[in-house]
Amino acid sequence: MRIGIGYDVHRLVRGRPLVLGGVVIPSEWGLQGHSDADVLVHAIGDALLGALALGDLGEHFPDTNPCYQGISSLTLLEEVVGMVRERGYKLSNLDSVLIAQQPRLAAHLLHMRRNLVDVLRLDLGSISVKVKTAEQLGSLGRAEGIAAYAVCLVTPHPL
């Protein structure tokens, strides 16, 4: 078995949709980025890639490639899951945490987890998504951005 950790952070800006875990969150502020800037999904993708020493999302889906402009991060995550499976592994479980001072996200966590079920090919009980504030400390505490961490366990799986 192999373990991976992922991290991502994006700045909040006016006029973009706020997408987290594939859920569009009602907000005047969204995350700045080349794709939909879904920090949760990006952290999960990096954790999966890291578990197999495959680099990070930026190596596989560079922001210099116009075909990724505005793309759903769930679409990119599906490709990452395919890379994991091609190498004879499968995701066994996922633990993740969003760090966001605002908006309040607790009411959206189950929807995020449900969005991840099909993409990750896991049952709901194997996917954890939590949310914490930054207790008004630093740039995240001033609500200048949102960050996410993810840890995953992948295990051998016959092709």
The overall average pLDDT reported for the chain is: 96
Residue 145 has pLDDT above 80, yes or no: yes
Domains of the chain and any CATH numbers: 2-156 (3.30.1330.50)
pLDDT at 26: 96
pLDDT at 158: 76
pLDDT at 159: 67
pLDDT at 71: 96
More confident residue, 54 or 158: 54
- Pair 79, 47: CB distance under 8 Å: no
The 10s digit of each residue's pLDDT in 28-80 is 999 999 999 999 999 999 999 999 999 999 999 999 999 999 999 999 999 99
Q: Which residues does residue 132 pair with via DSSP β-bridges, in sequence order? A: 99
Radius of gyration in angstroms for the set of CA atoms belonging to the chain, rounded to a whole number: 15
